[in-house]
Every structure is written in structure tokens, then in C-alpha cells.
């Protein structure tokens, strides 16, 4: 699947209000489905689909009938996905937080399937044809990629509200493949805070620290927002305007992180045939309140997700290895050299090896990845029963194409 996003540009403010009504209605349908599941034991997914038709015919909720029927079904599917995830977590004893389905209060999207909208012949405009009658919007996109796909390939359409406007996401049935020039190069990377990552060849990529650079502006904007807040009263128009400014600053930071993660991941995959990285549990790392802000600003998880995605479409191997002892072990002799977090140089007293600690860890990560890859190619079990599965995971992508 491929997702193409374009911004919606309408002529009047009333059009955006209609889109907002559609989003609220989708939220209402989802919450009703969750309530129905809580009150009726043994509810199935088909029961929630039937409930959508009942809500549309109910005289007390006439606005539900304005929403497209497939959009109502998509809202029911969202409710069932949260219910199914809760059931799966209950069966899995390793998951502590089961995630009981909650009612949505601030939904920001509505999802259509194959009806409820109409694209123009040149794919530059979209018209919403459901009961809300939002009208015609221009599709603004940096690259007009939507013109290259037929309407039969568009499986779903999602309208998303963000701080700077409304966006339309097209979910397209298309398998993306890229040509990769295999050179035999392999690399292991160690993620860090001083440098974003250091590879096994000694190369480093700087940590951009987007949030830290915008933090001063954010503090000033949030201070103004708190001064305009009135406790126990309806908030003024100036308060909502300032709230939008704060939201736009956060949106800019998130877009900067995503753009940088995509570029770094693509460059890494294009220049190597095997990528090995450490499988960090970021949710546990951010429990350290002294480093939580810096860890979140680095966006390691987003980067590794993009590395896996580009590895799949380039048909190369990507392996995640456990991070245990990668910093302690010497990459030359394997001896244990304990260090504090402030010690930035690896100095082995046994073999006299002197390296940057991140470079040493990257070499150890690469060795672990090659070891697991060798076990996989030799036909031995990857899931070694003597090793706890929760400590490591291997993601060999594209092995069938290489072997």
C-alpha cells in the first residue's frame, strides 16, 4: 500500500465546517459502537456493522444518516480494532497495560472507502458527495503523484485535520519497488544522543535536535497561551488563535523529525546491502526523566521504522539485535570494559584498543547481526530457546531474493 497526501483548499469557511461535522459524526459512531460492546456481552464485528444502520435510521440521531454509509462502517471498524487489540493484549501475559477501549473526545479524521467522494478528471479537485455536502476542494500537493494511479487502485480516503488545515490521504493499492545496486557493503549502527548514529566504519551523523532549537519559541508561545486562559469560563477567540500558534510549532517540529528520518534512512539503505541496528525499547528509555526529552527529540523509533520500510522496497536485509553489552564488550578482543555514561572513549586494558565508545558499539552490533544472519542461512533456529525472546528480534527482509 502507498499513501499519497494532499492539502484540501476550499473556497469558503463553511466547507471546512462541513468537514468538521463529518469528523465529529464519525467520532460519535465509533463511541456508540464502543458503548454497545461494553453493554452487550459477546458482541461481534458484524453486530457493530449492523449498529451503524440502526443509528442512521434512528430519529434521535438524524445527523448520522448524513455521513456516508461506508464511512460509518469505517468508524465501526476502528472501534472493533481497539476491541480486538484489547483482547489480544489480555491473552498476552507479557503485556502489562491491556489498553481497554476508550471513548474518543478529540478525533481528527474520518475515513471513506470507495464512495462518498468524486475525483475530477485531472485529479486536481475532489468533491464530497455525502449528506454533509462539503463541496469541491482543490488538491494541493508538492508532487502530483495522484494522477499516475487509476480510481480502482484507491482503496480508501482519509480526511485528516491538522493545525494548519485539512489534508486528504489516498490509500493506494500499489507495491513500491526500487532498484538497488548490490555492492556487498554491510554496516552496523549505534544510535545515540551526542551523534544521531555512528556506523561500524566510524562515520557519524549529527543529531539535529529540532525540539531543542524550537524550545525557546515554544516556551514563549505557551506562556502567552496560559495568560489568556480563563478558568471556569468560555475561552476567548484570542486564546484559540494562540492555541493554533502553539500547535503549528509542534507540527513543524514533528515534520522536521519525519523529513530527517526519511532522508537518513534512505541514504543508509541505498549505500549498504545489510543494515544492523540495536532494538532499543524507547518506551522504557524515556522513563529516565533526565534524558526523556533528548531521547524523544532524537526519534530513534521513527528512524528504525523507516529503515525497515526502505529495506523492504530495496530488497536488502535489515536486522535488529539486542543492545545488551554492545557498549561494554571490546570489539577487538571481546573483553568486558565497563564505562559510565560520561565516558566517551573505549580503552581496553587487555588489547590496548582505543576507540570512540559509539564506534566500538557499532562494530559489536554488526558482529551480532552477522552471527544471527549466519544462523538463519545455515538453517538453525533463529529463536534460540536459551535466549529470552523479549531481549532481541531479527528482521531479515528480502532474504529470499538474495539467496
Rounded to whole angstroms, the Cα distance separating 190 from 195 reads 9
Which domains, ranges and CATH numbers included, belong to the chain?
2-172 (no CATH), 186-208+259-402 (3.30.420)
229 beta partners: none
Dist. CA 77–CA 49, nearest whole Å? 8
| pLDDT for the residue 402 | 35
pLDDT at 220 over 60: yes
pLDDT-above-70 percentage for the chain? 93
pLDDT of 95 > 90? The answer is no
Highest-pLDDT range among 41-45, 175-179, 380-384 = 41-45
Q: What percent of the chain has pLDDT over 90?
A: 56
Mean pLDDT of the chain: 87
Q: How far apart are CA 72 and CA 80, in angstroms?
A: 13
pLDDT band with cut points at 50, 70 and 90 for residue 380: low
- How would you class 378 by CB atoms within 10 Å of its CB: exposed for 0-12, middle for 13-18, buried for 19 or more? exposed
Name the percent of the chain in helix, strand, coil, to the closest 5. Answer: 45, 20, 35
Q: Picking from 117-126, 290-299, 379-388, which range would have the lowest pLDDT averaged per residue?
A: 379-388
What are the residues whose beta carbons fall under 8 Å from the beta carbon of 6, sequence distance 6 or more? Answer: 139, 140, 141, 146, 167, 168, 170
Mean pLDDT of 373-382: 69
pLDDT exceeds cutoff 90 at 339? no
In the structure, what pLDDT confidence band is assigned to residue 353 with cuts at 50, 70 and 90? Answer: confident
| pLDDT confidence bin for 403, thresholds 50/70/90 | very low
pLDDT score of 112: 92
Binned at pLDDT 50, 70 and 90, residue 37 comes out as very high
Tell me phi and psi for residue 72, to 5 degrees. -65, -40
Q: What confidence score (pLDDT) does residue 58 get?
A: 87
Taking 90 as the threshold, does the pLDDT of residue 173 lie above it?
Answer: no
Going by pLDDT thresholds of 50, 70 and 90, the confidence category of residue 301 is very high
pLDDT at position 398 over 60: no
Residue pLDDT, tens place only, 41-53: 889 999 999 999 9
Q: Helices 13-39 and 69-91, interaxial angle, to 10°?
A: 40
Entry pTM: 0.85
124-165 pLDDT, tens per residue?
Answer: 889 999 989 899 999 888 655 777 777 788 889 999 999 999
- Nearest-5° Cα angle at 29, 135 to 89: 125
The answer to whether the Cα torsion of 309, 310, 315, 319 is positive or negative is negative
Amino acid at each position: 500500500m502507498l499513501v499519497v497526501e494532499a492539502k484540501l483548499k476550499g473556497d469558503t469557511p463553511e466547507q471546512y465546517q462541513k468537514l468538521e461535522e463529518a469528523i465529529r459524526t464519525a467520532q460519535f459512531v465509533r463511541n456508540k459502537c464502543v458503548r454497545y460492546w461494553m453493554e452487550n456481552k459477546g458482541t461481534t464485528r458484524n453486530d457493530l456493522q449492523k449498529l451503524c444502520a440502526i443509528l442512521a435510521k434512528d430519529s434521535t440521531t438524524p445527523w448520522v444518516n448524513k455521513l456516508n454509509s461506508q464511512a460509518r462502517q469505517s468508524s465501526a471498524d476502528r472501534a472493533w480494532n481497539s476491541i480486538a487489540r484489547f483482547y489480544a493484549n489480555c491473552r498476552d501475559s507479557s503485556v502489562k497495560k491491556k489498553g481497554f477501549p476508550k471513548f474518543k473526545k478529540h478525533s481528527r479524521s474520518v475515513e471513506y472507502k470507495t464512495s462518498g467522494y468524486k475525483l475530477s478528471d485531472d485529479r486536481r479537485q475532489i468533491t464530497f458527495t455525502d449528506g454533509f455536502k462539503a463541496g469541491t476542494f482543490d488538491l494541493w500537493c508538492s508532487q502530483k503523484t495522484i494522477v499516475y494511479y487509476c480510481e480502482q487502485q484507491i482503496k480508501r480516503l482519509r480526511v485528516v485535520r491538522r493545525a494548519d488545515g485539512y489534508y486528504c490521504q489516498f490509500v493506494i493499492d500499489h507495491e513500491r519497488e526500487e532498484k538497488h545496486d548490490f555492492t556487498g557493503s554491510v554496516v552496523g549502527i549505534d544510535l545515540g544522543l551526542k551523534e544521531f548514529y555512528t556506523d561500524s566504519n566510524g562515520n557519524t551523523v549529527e543529531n539535529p535536535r529540532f525540539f531543542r532549537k524550537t524550545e525557546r519559541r515554544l516556551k514563549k508561545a505557551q506562556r502567552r497561551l496560559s495568560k489568556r486562559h480563563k478558568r471556569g469560563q468560555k475561552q476567548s477567540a484570542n486564546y484559540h488563535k494562540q492555541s493554533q500558534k502553539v500547535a503549528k510549532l509542534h507540527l513543524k517540529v514533528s515534520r522536521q523529525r519525519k523529513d530527517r528520518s526519511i532522508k537518513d534512512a534512505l541514504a543508509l539503505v541505498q549505500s549498504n546491502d545489510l543494515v544492523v541496528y540495536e532494538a532499543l525499547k524507547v518506551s522504557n528509555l524515556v522513563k529516565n526523566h533526565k534524558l526523556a526529552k533528548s531521547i524523544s527529540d532524537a526519534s530513534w523509533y521513527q528512524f528504525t521504522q523507516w529503515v525497515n520500510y526502505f529495506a523492504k522496497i530495496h530488497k536488502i536485509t535489515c536486522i535488529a539485535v539486542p543492545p545488551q553489552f554492545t557498549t561494554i564488550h571490546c570489539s577487538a578482543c571481546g573483553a568486558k570494559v565497563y564505562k559510565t555514561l560520561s565516558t566517551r572513549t573505549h580503552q581496553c586494558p587487555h588489547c590496548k584498543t582505543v576507540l570512540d565508545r559509539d564506534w566500538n558499539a557499532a562494530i559489536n552490533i554488526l558482529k551480532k547481526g552477522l552471527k544471527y544472519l549466519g544462523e538463519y542461512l545455515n538453517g538453525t533456529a533463529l529463536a534460540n530457546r536459551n535466549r529470552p525472546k523479549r531481549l532481541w528480534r531479527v528482521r531479515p527482509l528480502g532474504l529470499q531474493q538474495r539467496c
